[in-house]
Structure 1
Amino acid sequence: MPCRARRADHLFVPAAAWWEYGHETVGRIAFEAARPETRAALRKLMAQGRLLETPDCSVATIEKLSYWPDCVKPLAERFSYASPWHYQNVDICKPFDLKAACKDGNCVSAQIERQSRLLADRTVPTRERLMALAFLVHFVGDLHNPMHAGDRGDRGGNDVKANYGRVGGRTNLHSIWDGYLAERAISTPPGGAHALLASIPSSERPALAAGTVEDWSREQWESARKFAYASLVGDPCGAKPEARPTLDEPDVRALIPELRRGVVAGGLRLARLLDDALLHGKAPGQRDR
């Protein structure tokens, strides 16, 4: 768990949140929810980390692997091609249109499907399958952050200056959901991957894991409008605020259950994709081989 300090207003100041903590939690939930045979296959692949030749970015555990696509971003030209794969800016104030946001497959939902296909194909070299695994785990986490799934032409909320309680300065809507709020929600007792997974009864998990990647995209796009923007500015498609709006403590408490459920949904859906790819050679939209 990342280091953090509690402020007098009960809002956490995280050292690392969705960037590591959110991805790690989605990955760990998926690992725990996957079939034993899938976990064995994951361990076998992750043990081949030397093939990636990224010694400062390990994939030795599901937590480290989940963060690998962000860890390698500083490696300049080696992985710069993947930058647009982490998000999809679908306009929350227009009818849902995933195609327009995914030109040439450069968006998170298209890459979830592509990386699933690469992982499922046993003729693909081990190095490429391991890389596909890291991207897949990370991108499912990205998709289940609403600010990676919908926006108002403001770079996923990066251009919406906002305060998180008493925390201001360089904060914005994206950083709140990517960091401060994610850490608060995941760590609120009972916190952590195991507790979050246990909060969903076994009987409800199949329904939460169901659907297509497009279904999940639409769900998170709706969450961006209904929860992320509306909680901060009221009318999500109204006039953009002139002053810095503040997400206060009552708003944060109201949002925690929604964000926690989204993290669990991401983990369960990822577990399903991993089971399909590693046990059945199947990816979204493909039949069993």
Structure 2
Amino acid sequence: MFKRILPFLALLLAASPAAAWWEYGHHTVGRIGYMTASPATRAKIDRLIAQARTLETPTCPIRDIEDAAYWPDCIKTLKERFSYSASWHYQNVDVCKPFDLKEACKDGNCVSAQIERNAKLLADETLPVRERLMALAFLAHFVGDLHMPLHAGDRGDLGGNRLGANYGVIGGRTNLHSIWDGYLADRGISNPPGEAAGILSELDPGERAVAAQGSIEDWSRESWEASRDYAYATVLGDPCGPTPTARPTIDEATTRRLVPVIRKQIARGGLRLGRLLDEALS
């Protein structure tokens, strides 16, 4: 009997909504960034990762770019040691007001400010390897976070964490944030052609170059718009309308409409990460 229920336990654990984009999303953004960076940049990344023991986080190892991109979520289990980074994963920019990144990031403790900061740290060859490897991990992770719409925009509900919603027949404690963080991301990334290579295959070189352009503020605005126009509008109709009394459900038809949105956000995040890695390490 125990052997029979093990696969179901594994599925439940894998579905734990503890991290932005869950593991799959961050792994994919990191892999696309690595794939699209120059060979010289990849070699420098590999040399940094080879020194992962200097981080002294054996329960959160970094063996490749996927591990690095997920590491900032993994270290949340170490509690006080890295608790200072908790507010770096998101920025609460109100989707029902004019876009204002300065107000949301006035103290620098937000995801877009930390992307800029960690890119500078990664580029600084005078720093110890340990600090630059941490900067690599934070940079890869936060670029992924910024492209999860509900980490870039909200309506005073902690990025949809307070908006209960169902994903098909999956309900209970699910909310809009956990659905976009995990269930939709997993579906979108695995949808054929899946994984990093499959998502990239849908874009020609010209489209990739265009997607990688822009500033961190441009990307913040774009994800904020996606939060309003897709994440909230999908379940509320009016993204600034009243919170429904009954839990809204994202059904199969809606999921299929959102899969291209998810894939575009993952592709954008990965391509922009690749650009930032080249700029920092070239």
Cα offsets for 1:30-65 (capped at 9, x unmatched) = 111110000000000000001100011111111111
Query: Within 2, Cα distance between the matches of 1:66 and 1:4?
Result: 26
- Correspondence 1:41 to 2:44: yes
- Sequence identity of aligned pairs in percent? 64
Alpha-carbon deviation of 1:4? 8.9
Query: Within 2, Cα distance between the matches of 1:42 and 1:48?
Result: 10
SS in 2 for 1:105: coil
Cα offsets for 1:225-280 (capped at 9, x unmatched) = 0000001110000111111011111111001001101100100000000000001x
Match of 2:246 in 1: 243
- Correspondence 1:32 to 2:35: yes
Query: Within 2, Cα distance between the matches of 1:195 and 1:72?
Result: 29
2:159 aligned to 149, 156, 159, which one?
156
Structure 1 range deviating more: 54-63 or 263-272: 54-63
Cα offsets for 1:127-184 (capped at 9, x unmatched) = 1000000000000000000010000000010000000111100000000000100000
Match of 1:63 in 2: 66
Q: TM-score, normalised by structure 1?
A: 0.91
SS in 1 for 2:107: helix
- Correspondence 1:202 to 2:197: no
Q: TM-score, normalised by structure 2?
A: 0.93
In structure 2, stretches of 5+ residues that fail to align are: 1-5
SS in 2 for 1:74: helix
One-letter code aligned to 1:212 = S
Match of 2:147 in 1: 144
Report how many residues are paired: 271
Alpha-carbon deviation of 1:103? 2.8
2:76 aligned to 70, 73, 76, which one?
73
Alpha-carbon deviation of 1:198? 1.2
Extract structure 1 runs of 4+ deviating beyond 6 A: none
- Correspondence 1:217 to 2:220: yes
SS in 2 for 1:72: helix
Query: Within 2, Cα distance between the matches of 1:203 and 1:244?
Result: 42
Query: Within 2, Cα distance between the matches of 1:145 and 1:239?
Result: 23
One-letter code aligned to 2:77 = P
Contact 1:14 1:180 in 2 (8 A): no
SS in 1 for 2:203: coil
SS in 1 for 2:76: coil
Q: Determine which structure has the larger helix proportion and give its number.
A: 2
> Once superposed, what is the RMSD of the aligned Cα atoms?
1.6
SS in 2 for 1:89: coil
Query: Within 2, Cα distance between the matches of 1:66 and 1:214?
Result: 21
Contact 1:115 1:136 in 2 (8 A): yes
Match of 1:115 in 2: 118
Match of 1:262 in 2: 265
2:173 aligned to 170, 186, 197, which one?
170
Query: Within 1, Cα distance between the matches of 2:191 and 2:12?
Result: 13
In structure 1, stretches of 5+ residues that fail to align are: 6-11, 280-289
Match of 2:281 in 1: 278
Contact 1:14 1:179 in 2 (8 A): no
Cα offsets for 1:51-107 (capped at 9, x unmatched) = 100011111111111110011111121100000000001000000001111131000
Q: 1:199 to 1:253 in 2, by over 3 A?
A: same
